[in-house]
Amino acid sequence: MQALFAHWHRQRHGVQRWALWVLLLVLVASLLTTLVWLAGRYESSQVQSRLEHDAAEIVTDIRAGLNRNTQSLQALQSSERTPDSWRLAAADLLRERREIMRLEWRDEALQVLAQVGTPYRSPVFERLGRSSVQADISLACSTARRLSSTAYSSSYFLPQTDGLGFEVLDMCMPMTAGGRLVGYTVATYSLQDVLAELVGKHLARGQSAAFTEADGTRLALHGTPSRGSRVYVAQHLLDLSGNTLVLRLESRLGLPSLFPNVLTALVAGMSLALLVVLFLLARDMKRRLRVEHDLGEALAFRKAMEDSVLTGLRVRDLSGRTTYVNPAFCQMVGMSAKALLHQSFPSPYWPPELAQAYQQRQAIRLAGNNLPREGHESVFMRPDGTRFAVLIMEAPLINAVGKHTGWVSAILDVSEQRRIEELSRASQDRLQATARLAMVGEMASLLSHELNQPLAAISSYAVGSLNLLSDAQNAPLSPLSSDLQTGLSRIAEQAERAGKVIKSVHDFVRRRDQAREAVKPQTLLDTIMPLVGLQARKLSVVVVLEVDAACAAVLCDRTMVEQVLLNLARNGMQAMGTQALGTQATEIQAVQQGMGAASRVLTLRVRPAASRGASRWVEFSVADQGEGIAADVAAQLFTPFFTTKAEGMGLGLSLCRTVIEQHGGFLGFAAGQPRGTVFSFTLPVAPPAHEAL
């Protein structure tokens, strides 16, 4: 499902990217089209402006030419002129003014006194006759007389004998003498020649000029007429007295084309360059997208690897700030990536007691560029205070251009490995202890076999000596001391007891079933007191017995329990043997007097075990007044072969606990008050069927 969603998301992202590219191309194309259109419009407006300016100048030139002709005609109105002289002067003027077709001198009644035609054409009125346009001349002269200035008639078409014709108009100028009208000068203009003579030199190639009426009817044309629907046209009025003409100027210079001028060509070239750049950019973007896709795949692959490995990864910059951690490292230290990133020294996972040493070590390593490739061990701390061992391997971080930018660390949690190694060492120690115990068992078996014979011999000799003493006591001549008899009895008893101890140890080592019997606690204490008292006198220790009369008999292996009591009593007396005390006499005397001032007192106490039920268990305790047991010693006090004595083997307390646990009881110790140590163990109460008498 996630793969389908990711595929759909990539497709949607691709469609959006292509849609943005299409929109960008449309906008660029629209912009370029608008720029080209605006450049064309600007060029068109420039051409139109120039054309209108040219039309205005042409109208000005035509008006100036007509005024110049008027001045020349006024020179003909001299009073001294005769018709013949007038004709000569008029002929000269017509040769200079090709636009004038005919000059006439008329009287006040508009009768022709003299007339001259242009030498460049055949007589223009040859076909139509002059009388046909008499009305237009009369109107123009009437207007001129009223205005006391030149006046123009309406234009009219004048056909010729060759089948052609042209548009002409008449100009009438009144002649006065002493303020009195004496006649008129009439000049006939050809509109086409007016354009040719007065305008032609101003026309550029590709332009044409024409006179039209107000409704657009063309009267005369000079130049090549323009073709097409988008010809540039400028019109300007030629206002004459008595007539108004429209000058129409057309130009083909602004004909629509792909590049109407340099600006448009420049904009078009820039547009093409922009399109090429967009194409190159699109191709580069395509390559970039492909590279980004490959880079994304590589990053996803690397991210998957970093998230799957169990090795913690940490990256620091040159100043020591953490810039990257992977999930394995976050899980290792129990913190989030947000809490770890951008953290400098000291790091939040350093133990407070080691932070200063770690900071100095990191400063030396990061500054000296001498990081050990094989790694180094350290200790980290989780937020709950748990410490754990780690192995750190650091290396320089080099970027793509070969520049040293920081340090990358691979961190392994070796706490489990160290725990397994510790367990392995403990297992090796246990195996060695087991081997030593097996050796001890073999030695105990060998010693029990070898010692049984001399002990049996000692017992036999002691019994024989006692028998001889008995026989000697019956003889009157050989009296012996009773003390000697008592000593021999003790030798026999202890030899017999030593044999029982050896037999019990042999059975214990061989894991045989021991014979258990019901024994009163007082009997157990009375049995070991001769040996305890002997060592107590040597160490100046006072032994105090406290036996609760309510204690019932216990079911046990008598010999082994006696050895436990004897071992605990000896340990207690040895624990008090190093104290600096007074003389033995003073100590014993203090105890005998009941002063309680002695500090070397060993207390053997027997009472019902309240914690485990008074009717089922009996508690034996041995309390000394020594210096107590240190914490490091207490942790391994019952470990086999552990001892604080120079001559000890470290098996006493371990065997004592094993014996008590075989009886179902518990052997432990606690601190005494005000000082010393109390060792205590429990034994089960004997059932009624085994009660001792």
Q: Encode pLDDT of 191-213 as tens digits.
A: 988 888 888 676 666 678 888 88
- Written as one letter, the residue type at 366 is L
Pick the closest to residue 139 from 243, 66, 219 (CA basis): 243
- pLDDT tier, 150 (very low <50, low <70, confident <90, very high otherwise): very high
Residues 492 and 551 in one domain: no
Average pLDDT over residues 111-131: 85
Cβ within 8 Å of residue 75, ≥6 positions away: 89
Q: What is the mean pLDDT of the chain?
A: 77
Last residue of a domain, one of 469, 488, 512: 512
Residues 430 and 567 in one domain: no
Cβ within 8 Å of residue 166, ≥6 positions away: 157, 158, 160, 190, 191, 192, 193, 220
What secondary structure does DSSP assign to 420-474, as a single string?
A: HHHHHHHHHHHHHHHHHHHHHHHHHHHHHHHHHHHHHHHHHHHHHHHHHHHHHHH
Whether the per-residue pLDDT at 477 is higher than 50: the answer is: no
Q: Is the peptide bond before 346 cis (omega within 30 degrees of 0)?
A: yes
- 545 vs 401, residue with greater confidence: 545
- Written as one letter, the residue type at 337 is A
Distance CA 326, CA 303 (A): 9
Residue 12 lies in a domain: no
Helix (H, G, I), strand (E, B) or coil at 350: coil
For the chain, report the end-to-end CA distance as a whole number of angstroms: 87
Whether the per-residue pLDDT at 429 is higher than 60: the answer is: yes
In Å, how far are 361, 531, 632, 678 from 575, measured between CA atoms? 47, 17, 17, 12
Residue 297 lies in a domain: no
Tens digits of per-residue pLDDT, 324-367? 888 888 888 888 878 888 777 778 888 888 888 887 877 776 66
Whether the per-residue pLDDT at 470 is higher than 70: the answer is: no
151-155, 210-214, 449-453, 680-684: segment of lowest average pLDDT: 449-453
Whether the per-residue pLDDT at 442 is higher than 60: the answer is: no
Residue 317 lies in a domain: yes
Let me know the angle formed at the C-alpha of 626 by 622 and 630, rounded to the nearest 5 degrees: 100
Region label for 219, one of left (φ > 0), alpha (ψ between -120 and 50) or beta (otherwise): alpha
- 266 vs 594, residue with greater confidence: 266
CATH number of the structural domain spanning residue 446: 1.10.287
- Written as one letter, the residue type at 580 is A
Residue pair 650/641 in contact (Cβ under 8 Å)? The answer is yes
What secondary structure does DSSP assign to 364-385, as a single string?
A: HHHHHT---TT-EEEEEE-TTS
Whether the per-residue pLDDT at 249 is higher than 70: the answer is: yes
Average pLDDT over residues 274-291: 82
Residues 94 and 207 in one domain: yes
Whether the per-residue pLDDT at 36 is higher than 50: the answer is: yes
**Half-sphere exposure at residue 28, Cβ-oriented, CA atoms within 13 angstroms:** 17
Residues 568 and 684 in one domain: yes
Whether the per-residue pLDDT at 256 is higher than 60: the answer is: no
Q: What is the pLDDT of residue 141?
A: 92
Average pLDDT over residues 153-159: 88
Q: What is the pLDDT of residue 204?
A: 62
Last residue of a domain, one of 491, 512, 533: 512
Distance CA 507, CA 499 (A): 12
Q: How many domains does the chain have?
A: 4
Residue 96 lies in a domain: yes
Average pLDDT over residues 119-147: 85
Residues 168 and 230 in one domain: yes
Report the percent of the chain where pLDDT is more than 70. Answer: 73
- Beta-carbon count within 10 A of 445 CB: 15
- pLDDT tier, 586 (very low <50, low <70, confident <90, very high otherwise): very low
Helix (H, G, I), strand (E, B) or coil at 577: coil
Q: What share of the chain is helix, strand, coil (3-state, %, to 5)?
A: 50, 20, 30
- pLDDT tier, 476 (very low <50, low <70, confident <90, very high otherwise): very low
CATH number of the structural domain spanning residue 217: 3.30.450.20
Q: What is the pLDDT of residue 189?
A: 92
Report the percent of the chain where pLDDT is more than 90. Answer: 8
Residue 288 lies in a domain: no
Beta partners for 105? 114, 185
Distance CA 28, CA 24 (A): 6
- 88 vs 431, residue with greater confidence: 88
Residue 143 lies in a domain: yes
Rounded to two decimals, the pTM is: 0.41
Average pLDDT over residues 204-227: 80
Instruction: Name the most confidently modeled range: 46-60, 141-155, 203-217, 440-454.
Output: 141-155
- Written as one letter, the residue type at 339 is A
Token reading at 73: 């005609």
Distance CA 538, CA 550 (A): 33
- pLDDT tier, 506 (very low <50, low <70, confident <90, very high otherwise): low
Average pLDDT over residues 460-465: 67
Instruction: Name the most confidently modeled range: 4-13, 85-94, 328-337.
Output: 85-94
Residue 303 lies in a domain: no
Whether the per-residue pLDDT at 630 is higher than 90: the answer is: no
Whether the per-residue pLDDT at 135 is higher than 50: the answer is: yes
Q: What is the pLDDT of residue 501?
A: 62
Last residue of a domain, one of 200, 227, 251: 251
Residue pair 413/388 in contact (Cβ under 8 Å)? The answer is yes
Range of the domain at 372: 312-413
Distance CA 394, CA 369 (A): 10
Residues 425 and 405 in one domain: no
Residues 483 and 519 in one domain: no
Token reading at 603: 């207390």
Residues 430 and 578 in one domain: no
- pLDDT tier, 606 (very low <50, low <70, confident <90, very high otherwise): very high
Q: What is the pLDDT of residue 583?
A: 39
Tens digits of per-residue pLDDT, 393-423? 878 878 878 888 887 888 888 888 888 888 8
Residues 158 and 79 in one domain: yes
Pick the closest to residue 687 from 540, 556, 543, 507 (CA basis): 556
Distance CA 408, CA 326 (A): 12
Region label for 581, one of left (φ > 0), alpha (ψ between -120 and 50) or beta (otherwise): beta
Q: What is the pLDDT of residue 478?
A: 43
Q: What is the pLDDT of residue 320?
A: 78
Whether the per-residue pLDDT at 479 is higher than 50: the answer is: no
Pairing status of strand 156-159 against strand 165-177? antiparallel
Residues 76 and 221 in one domain: yes
Residue pair 512/505 in contact (Cβ under 8 Å)? The answer is no
Distance CA 253, CA 267 (A): 20
Residues 440 and 361 in one domain: no
Average pLDDT over residues 234-259: 77
Residues 577 and 521 in one domain: yes
Residue 302 lies in a domain: no
